[in-house]
Amino acid sequence: MKKILVVFTTIISVTTFAQNTKQLTKIASTITPDDLKSKLSIIASAQMEGRETAMPGQKKAAAYIENFFKQLGLQPGTSNGYQLNFPVYRDSVLSTSLKINGSELHETQDYNISAATAINSSFKDTSVVFIGFGITDSLHDDFKNADVKNKWIVFAEGNEADADKSTVQYPYRNPASSYQKLFNARKADVQGIIIISKNISTLPKITKGNMYVKESSRKNIPVLYLTPQVASLIFAKPLNTFSDVKNIAPGNYSCNFSFQVNAITQNMESSNVIGVLPGTDKKDEYVFVTGHYDHLGKKDSVIYYGADDDGSGTTSVLEIAETFVKAKEKGFAPRRTMVFMTVSGEEKGLWGSDYYTSHPVFSLDSTSVDLNIDMVGRIDPERKYGDSTNYVYTIGEDKLSSDLQPITDSINNKFTHLELDRKYNDLKDPNRFYYRSDHYNFAKHGIPIIFYFNGTHADYHKPTDTVDKINFDLMAKRVKLVFYTAWAIANRDNMLKRDMPLK
């Protein structure tokens, strides 16, 4: 009798699962190319002005997302509403002065400054540390053997391989970009930074600096850009051309210099937008679906639309939220609470996600996963293998939790049949994509993550990243993969294991 009962129960369980799967597939079918296009056409429209953090376009986008969450009936993510605000600052420089070994120098002619780090200050020193090109990647670290803490450092822009080229543009987080070098210098706790630039005349006279956020552990570090000829004053050796810096040995150099800046600080604000769908029996555990809605804004009258980066991810978050609400209306509410969060400040340095994980609304210990979507609307032109019309890069699922990759494989094999390309899971990959989007701020707290990504392309971080170039058929398949994965994790019996070391 017991054996018959077990068999009967198993049949009921399998039948119920099959029925639920059929219903879930029907619900997921509402994720359509047309629906995605209608949302993205708003998010990446001229009206949103490129959605630069703390600027009017970003605030318009935040209002659109908030209103969308309200219309869905999602609960606000904070006690104050749907937007989790965080402070942003921008400094305006009134005047500066710089003297090196007795020579009075002239701004924009001999040097330029980063107003983003310029506060009312006065510096004097008698030596600097030259660290070559200041490269830090998986194969090389110019900071490693240099004693730079609380010292002024000097490095050349770009990398040695490109030293003879007139100009080279590097993506923000490329190891050769000034952005990444400054990030590493701040981690090394230097006092000030001098960058030898190929042509400071190409740097505009900056009176208003880039925006920044203040952290209790961070101090403002002045950043100066010098011509090679002015840098000769530091090394007491002529630098007739930029490529001559290759002949300068790293090390300490005696150098009497003084630098003063007179600046004022403007207080600004940005926000993450959070909508919540409460769970049932496991409502005190959380599944996050995230994407950054900010982009690069406007340069004069030129709009950087950011349709793929990351209008596509923002649209995906909205679409998945809508699909979960439809599932609940059909009687399929998630067991765990779903948190749909679009963050800002990613392009500035992962600010919004860092602020959230530093000031969490929901327990990080009870957060099962972050599924982060950043660029899922295009095709990587460098991917010369497989089916370029049926793939997605999945990053990070081999880290932190041994549960994640089997879940993705199972979901994909059952529902979406995409080529799951995991080549960027290699931590030695020079692109370092694992560290380059908002999921990483969850990962560094031990929360399992998956980062969904289509790769870069010729329009990356350019005004030409527009809606007309999005492959909405492929995007819809990728969004369905995230939806099914979120559904599986939200409804499994246990939270994802955290059984793998931090990377």
C-alpha to C-alpha distance for 503 and 500, rounded to whole angstroms: 9
Pick from 189, 164, 315, 192: nearest CA to 257: 192
- Residue 7 pLDDT exceeds 50: no
Reported confidence tier of residue 166, pLDDT bands at 50, 70, 90: confident
User: Of 4-8, 122-126, 263-267, 288-292, where does mean pLDDT reach its minimum?
Assistant: 4-8
pLDDT of res. 356: 98
- Residue 217 pLDDT exceeds 50: no
- Residue 6 pLDDT exceeds 80: no
3-state SS class at 198: coil
- In sequence order, what are the beta bridge partners of 111? 107, 226
3-state helix, strand, coil in the chain (%, to 5): 35, 25, 40
Give how far Cα 297 sits from Cα of 45, 68, 301, 461, Å.
12, 22, 10, 10
- Residue 66 pLDDT exceeds 90: yes
- Residue 437 pLDDT exceeds 50: yes
Pick from 476, 482, 475: nearest CA to 412: 482
3-state SS class at 170: coil
Q: Which residues of 399-424 are buried (b: 16+ CB within 10 A; e: fewer)?
A: bbbebbbebbeebbeebbebebbeeb
Reported confidence tier of residue 168, pLDDT bands at 50, 70, 90: confident
C-alpha to C-alpha distance for 66 and 345, rounded to whole angstroms: 17
C-alpha to C-alpha distance for 481 and 316, rounded to whole angstroms: 11
Question: What are the tokens at 186?
Answer: 């701040």
Pick from 230, 228, 253, 262: nearest CA to 106: 230
Count of helices and strands (H, E) across the chain: 11, 17
pLDDT of res. 95: 87
How deeply is 332 buried, as exposed, middle or buried, from its count of CB atoms within 10 A (0-12, 13-18, 19+)?
Answer: middle
Q: In this structure, what is the dihedral angle of CA atoms 433, 144, 249, 428, given to the nearest 10 degrees?
A: -30
C-alpha to C-alpha distance for 41 and 49, rounded to whole angstroms: 13
- Residue 194 pLDDT exceeds 50: yes
Q: Which residues of 312-331 are buried (b: 16+ CB within 10 A; e: fewer)?
A: bbbbbbbbbbbbbbbbbeee
C-alpha to C-alpha distance for 372 and 359, rounded to whole angstroms: 19
- Residue 56 pLDDT exceeds 50: yes
- List the alpha helices (DSSP H) in 282-394: 313-329, 346-349, 351-358
pLDDT, tens digit (0-9, with 9 covering 90-100), for 375-426: 999 999 999 999 999 999 999 999 999 999 999 999 999 999 999 999 999 9
Pick from 226, 145, 218, 138: nearest CA to 183: 218
Is omega for the bond preceding 365 within 30 degrees of 0, making it cis? no
DSSP letter for each residue of 206-237: -SBPPPB---TT-----EEEE-HHHHHHHHTS
Q: At what angle do helices 313-329 and 472-491 cross, to 10 degrees?
A: 50
Give me the chain's average pLDDT, please: 91
- Residue 32 pLDDT exceeds 90: yes
Domains defined along the chain, listed by start: 18-88+270-491 (3.40.630.10), 89-266 (3.50.30.30)
Q: Which H helix or E strand runs over 458?
A: none
- List the alpha helices (DSSP H) in 126-257: 178-187, 228-235
Rounded to a whole number of angstroms, the distance between the first and last alpha carbons of the chain is 52
**Cβ–Cβ under 8 Å, residues 117 and 221:** yes
Instruction: Give the global pTM.
Output: 0.80
C-alpha to C-alpha distance for 192 and 117, rounded to whole angstroms: 10
pLDDT of res. 449: 98
The more confident residue out of 8 and 475 is: 475
360-373 mean pLDDT: 98
- Residue 11 pLDDT exceeds 50: no
191 Cβ partners below 8 Å, 6+ apart? 123, 125, 150, 151, 152, 221
DSSP 364: S
Residue 102 — left, alpha, or beta (φ > 0 → left; ψ -120 to 50 → alpha)?
A: left
